[in-house]
Amino acid sequence: MNKTFTLFFSLSAFLFSFAQTQIPNPGFENWENIGSATEEPTSWNSNKTGTGLATSGPQTCYRETASPHSGSYSVRVETKYYIVAVVNGNVTTGQVNAPSSNKSEGFLAATGANKIAFTGRPDSLVGWYKYTQATTGTGASAEQGKVYAILHFGDYFDPPTPVNSNHANLSANKIGDALYVSPASNQASWKRFSVPFNYMNSNIPAFIMVNITSSNNQLTVAPGFTGNGSKLWVDDLDLIYNNPVSVKENDFDKNVKVYFYDKTIYVDFLNKNNESSTIDIYNATGQLVSTQQIENNSVNKIDVSSFKSGIYMYKVSGKSQGKFGKLFID
C-alpha cells in the first residue's frame, strides 16, 4: 500500500482544539479604548458600541482596578437611569441593540463579526462575582445580577422571542445554555458560582454568546430616581469539561485504533470483547454527519466515500472505552 493514512492528534490534542474551547478574555485582563467612554474588554461589547439608541446611553461597563479576584482587572457593569429610562449595565460577546426607547424591544445579537467561534460541549460555567443592589427605584430590592452563556449555530438573539418585529425568531439555533442569577441581595466579597449547561440536542455548537448584566429584573423607574443603580463585578470565567467515560485517558489510545485509508475509516479494538460501541463523526463546522454502531470484537469498516475532503472529528464511546480524535479524509 503506497497510500499513507493520516491520523493526527489523539485525545489530548482533540480536547485542546475541539472539546475544551474557552471563552475569550475570560479574566477581563485585556481592554480596548482605555480611558474613554467606549472602554471595553477585548472580545466583549457594551452599549457604547451597540446599535440604535444604545450608543446614546450612559457608560455602563467599566475596567475595575480595585481588588480584582485575580490579575489586574475585573469587569464592572452598572445600571443607570438616563433621561427617561433605566439602562441596564451590560457587557456581552455579542452586540447591544436598542431600536427604540421601549426597553422591551432591546436585545443582544450574535451576528456577523459579533459571533464568537466555539465548538465545545462544556459541562458547566464557573466564575466569580460581587454584587451591590440599587438603593432607589421601584423594584430595587428585587434586583439580581446575571451571567448567561448560550451555545448556538448560525445567528442568535437574546431574548430570542421578537418584540414588535425587532428581530427574527432564531430560538431553534440554540444548542445549550448555562444561566446564573445571583440572589436578590448584596455580595460584598468575591463569591464563586457554578451552573450546569443544559443541552437541547446532541449537536456540536459553532458559536458561544456570553451576556452579563447587573439587572436581571429590570427596574421600574420611580419618580425622582436618579444616579447609579445596581453594580455587578465579574472575574475569571471558566468552562468546565468532564470526561465522557470513566476509563483513564491513556486507556483510550491504547485500546482503540482509528484511522482512514482508501475512502474507509477503520476502528480496531485491541482488547477485543463482545461489547458494542458507537462512533460519531463530525465535520469541521461541528455538524454530526454520521453515527454508526460498531463491534468491539472485530475491525470495523465505515464507508466515507460520500464525504467531502477535509478534516473530520470522531468520538468512539461505549461501556468500557472511549476515544476522541481527528482525521483527514481525502
In percent, the amount of the chain with pLDDT more than 70 equals 85
For residue 29 the three cell numbers come to 485582563
Residue 282: pLDDT over 90:
no
Q: Coil, helix or strand for 129?
A: strand
Residue 124: pLDDT over 50:
yes
Smallest Cα–Cα separation from 77: which of 91, 65, 92? 91
Mean pLDDT confidence for 179-200: 96
Q: Show Cβ contacts of residue 238 under 8 Å, excluding neighbours closer than 6 positions.
A: 22, 23, 26, 125, 126, 127
- Sheet containing strand 256-261, edge to edge, reads 256-261, 264-269, 299-303
Alpha-carbon span 182 to 205, nearest angstrom: 26
Q: Show Cβ contacts of residue 112 under 8 Å, excluding neighbours closer than 6 positions.
A: none
- Tell me what the pLDDT averaged over the chain comes to: 84
Amino acid found at 159: P
7 vs 240 pLDDT, higher one? 240
Smallest Cα–Cα separation from 176: which of 151, 207, 156? 151
Start-end of H helices in the chain: 11-14, 249-255
What is the pLDDT, as a whole number, of residue 81? 80
What is the pLDDT, as a whole number, of residue 219? 44
**Among 65-79, 97-111, 291-305, 312-326, which stretch is predicted with the lowest mean pLDDT?**
312-326
pLDDT band at 72 (very low <50, low <70, confident <90, very high): very high
- Spell out the domains of the chain, with CATH numbers in brackets: 7-15+244-329 (2.60.40.3080), 21-240 (2.60.120.890)
Q: In the Cβ-directed half-sphere of 97, how many Cα atoms lie within 13 Å?
A: 19
249-260 CB burial, b ≥16 within 10 A, e <16: bebbeebbebeb
Q: What is the dihedral sign for C-alpha 153, 155, 158, 159? A: negative
Mean pLDDT confidence for 301-311: 90
